[in-house]
A and B are shown apart, each in its own frame.
Chain A
Amino acid sequence: MILTRCWSSLGAGLRTQSSSIDIAEERFTRNYQHIVRAEGVSLSYGNVRALSGIDLAVGRNEIVGLIGDNGAGKSTLIKLLTGVVRPTSGRLFVRDRAVDWARYSVHEAHRLRFETVYQEKSLGDKQPLWRNIFVGRQITNRFGFIKVAEERRIANDLLLRKLGFRGVGIDADSAVVKLSGGERQGVAIGRAMHFDADLIVLDEPTVALAIGEVRKVLDFVRSIKESGRACIYIEHNLAHVHELADRLVVLDRGHLVADIKAGEISLNDLTKFLLDLQHRPPATAAVG
């Protein structure tokens, strides 16, 4: 119903936006092969090795499905790619250019037009939606005071016009705590859309959602592809990720154990592969 409108208009918004922005920002339109590429990235927390020598490249218009059991390192890997955490070693390239870890942060990732939608920790519960949409990159005057009227206006435009929240009584001043799981996801994805990302990272976007809403998220992932963007998609449901992704990357206890083109493996074989993984010993002795 409402969300049908919401998601489909999201997709439409993405498609129309891409063309105009590409002309406007030449900096990001130069030719590159990979929107993001990690080389030999490792991360340890004390003695625990969360990631071991990961090589991963995401093409500029590719949907990469990231799969693996709980604790395989999926979330850690995307946190690393989006500037939330720094690796112990390894290199990162964005649009084929090396990134200096010391200067890489969430802020920098935003500037490079990476957006992340987390399953449930994307929004501050007690804050109104206008704050949630702009936090971290507020519209301010030169003394750092927020231009509330402007943020509110843009937020309302996004929520009411683009996301179709008018019917459910949600506007820029609503607190997140009043929203359902699907509505939260809509806002988080809407935020990614507003800032016009080239890479959208979705961390289990469908976990808290009802079946009807899941369909809409999947449609949205398709629209990312159609609009020429890239996407890293973490998903537990193998059928969904197998259906959508161009490429499947499997992590197991911090190691990248498979990197498969979607067409080259059937859903059954993929399921069997993942089940077998659980009975195998850790990939190397370095783990733990």
Chain B
Amino acid sequence: MMESVVQPRQVAKPSRSWHKAAHIEGLPIIVVLLLLVGLFMAAAPGVFLRWPIYLSFLTTVPPMLVLAVGLTMVVAAGEIDLSFPSVLAFSGFLFAWAVGATGNAWLGLLLALAGGAFVGFTNGVLIAVVGVPSIITTIGTQFFWAGVASILSGGMSDALQQLASGSLYAVFAAPLFGVIPMQAVWAVGLTILMWFILNRHRFGEHVLFIGDNRNVAKVVGINITRETVKLFTLMGLLGGFASVLLTLENLNYFSTQGQGYLLPALAGVFIGGTSVFGGTATMVGTFFGTFIIGMLEAGIVATGIAGFWVQAIEGVVFVVAVILHLVVESPAKLRAFAGMTGRWHRTAPPKPEIDGSRS
């Protein structure tokens, strides 16, 4: 007579402490960040042992962080958004235009948010209702909205010095207590809110299931179309907010202001440990990953290495961080790698076939 297949597991489990450490969200990337800061402190003590460099990061990183937390949600759903640089341009234009035309910066903020949400909404409709894959949709809309921003602005930049004395600037860009830049406060607050949305809200759970397995999401009653449209609208809204932070910080609008954000913002998400396959995501990882991306260039330059080394080093840090995530998440991969090189033969026994891992 055949017996039950549920045997006690024989697969060697990693030690408990390793397991616990792996469960602290974003731990690997925090370690990488600390290592880098330590390295920079050693290599450029004149810069990294003094506080102004850190305050400067708190003004340059927030727009990218706002984009990255939105992207984390998008990637969690197994989708991608490449159109946000154009939202920075388009929403930034709406903001600058409203400020110039009405003198009311708050109206500009509303318009920028609405414009970003509109771009995101149309992305969502194209992806979820029409059915165009998100990577293709957002490549297209990225070109389109960048073009619209160029046409509307005539390719000109727009100096907005008058904002510096306004209330919007005081709320979103001036230093808090004369020290901490307000945009950093907002970006951190937003990251915390989005952590709760992703991990504790019904919407975040739906996003995770959609990214995990669309068929499952469908049969458990998730309205995939509606949630996808919501998701991209949210991303557009965050893009609009990032554009305002960016324009306020520069006190200047230029129609190409989104350029250069695409890959760094995505890198911040992936370096943080969010899986490109969807279904899992970490806001904490994105937070620290974005700061790593944001400080690498300044850090490398400060150490005195010639500027053309920057990208190569960024690439190395990116790959090392991603590998570190893999190793922490599944130590078995490390063993498999060791087995491949033939140095370590104590590999785990194969999993039983009944695993149902066919899906």
Q: Determine if B208 and A209 form an interchain contact, defined as CB atoms under 8 angstroms apart.
A: no
Query: Among residues 261 to 298 in chain B, which have CB atoms less than 8 Å away from a CB atom of chain A?
Result: 279-280
Most buried by A among B202, B209, B217: B202
* A80 located at the interface, meaning its Cβ lies under 8 Å from any Cβ of chain B in the complex: no
Instruction: Please report the C-alpha to C-alpha distance between residue A213 and residue B6 in the assembled complex, in whole angstroms.
Output: 9
Q: Determine if B209 and A135 form an interchain contact, defined as CB atoms under 8 angstroms apart.
A: yes
B77-96 vs A, CB cutoff 8 Å, 1 = contact: the mask equals: 00000000000000000000
Residues of B within 8 A of A144 (CB): 201-203
B318-359 vs A, CB cutoff 8 Å, 1 = contact: the mask equals: 000000000000000000000000000000000010111111
Instruction: Please report the C-alpha to C-alpha distance between residue A210 and residue B5 in the assembled complex, in whole angstroms.
Output: 7
B5-19 vs A, CB cutoff 8 Å, 1 = contact: the mask equals: 110110000000000
Instruction: Please report the C-alpha to C-alpha distance between residue A227 and residue B16 in the assembled complex, in whole angstroms.
Output: 43
Size range of the chain B interface in the assembly: 35 or more
Closest to A140 in B: B202
Selected contact of B279 from candidates A118, A124, A135, A210, CB within 8 Å: A124
Selected contact of B221 from candidates A121, A123, A126, A136, CB within 8 Å: A136
Residues of B within 8 A of A212 (CB): 1-5
B176-210 vs A, CB cutoff 8 Å, 1 = contact: the mask equals: 00000000000000000000100011110110110
Closest to B356 in A: A181
* A146 located at the interface, meaning its Cβ lies under 8 Å from any Cβ of chain B in the complex: yes
Closest to A135 in B: B220
Q: What is the minimal beta-carbon distance from A246 to any residue of chain B, in angstroms?
A: 26
Instruction: Please report the C-alpha to C-alpha distance between residue A145 and residue B205 in the assembled complex, in whole angstroms.
Output: 10
B101-112 vs A, CB cutoff 8 Å, 1 = contact: the mask equals: 000000000000
Query: Among residues 203 to 262 in chain B, which have CB atoms less than 8 Å away from a CB atom of chain A?
Result: 203, 205-206, 208-209, 212-213, 215-223
Residues of A within 8 A of B208 (CB): 124, 126-127, 131
Residues of A within 8 A of B196 (CB): 145
Q: What is the minimal beta-carbon distance from B236 to any residue of chain A, in angstroms?
A: 21
Q: Determine if B4 and A213 form an interchain contact, defined as CB atoms under 8 angstroms apart.
A: yes
Selected contact of B205 from candidates A4, A131, A168, CB within 8 Å: A131
Residues of B within 8 A of A182 (CB): 4-6, 354
Residues of A within 8 A of B206 (CB): 135
Q: What is the minimal beta-carbon distance from B85 to any residue of chain A, in angstroms?
A: 30
Q: Which residues of A contact B (CB under 8 A)?
A: 1-4, 79, 82-84, 105-107, 109-110, 116, 118, 120-127, 131, 135-138, 140, 144-146, 148, 167-169, 177, 180-184, 208-213, 216
Beyond A125-B213, A181-B355, A212-B5, list 10 extra A-B contacts (CB 8 Å): A106-B219, A106-B220, A106-B221, A121-B213, A121-B359, A124-B212, A136-B220, A145-B201, A184-B356, A208-B358
Q: Which 3 A-B pairs have the closest CB atoms?
A: A106-B221, A181-B356, A136-B221
User: Mind listing 10 A-B residue pairs with CB under 8 Å?
Assistant: A2-B6, A124-B209, A124-B213, A124-B217, A124-B279, A145-B200, A167-B8, A208-B354, A208-B356, A211-B2
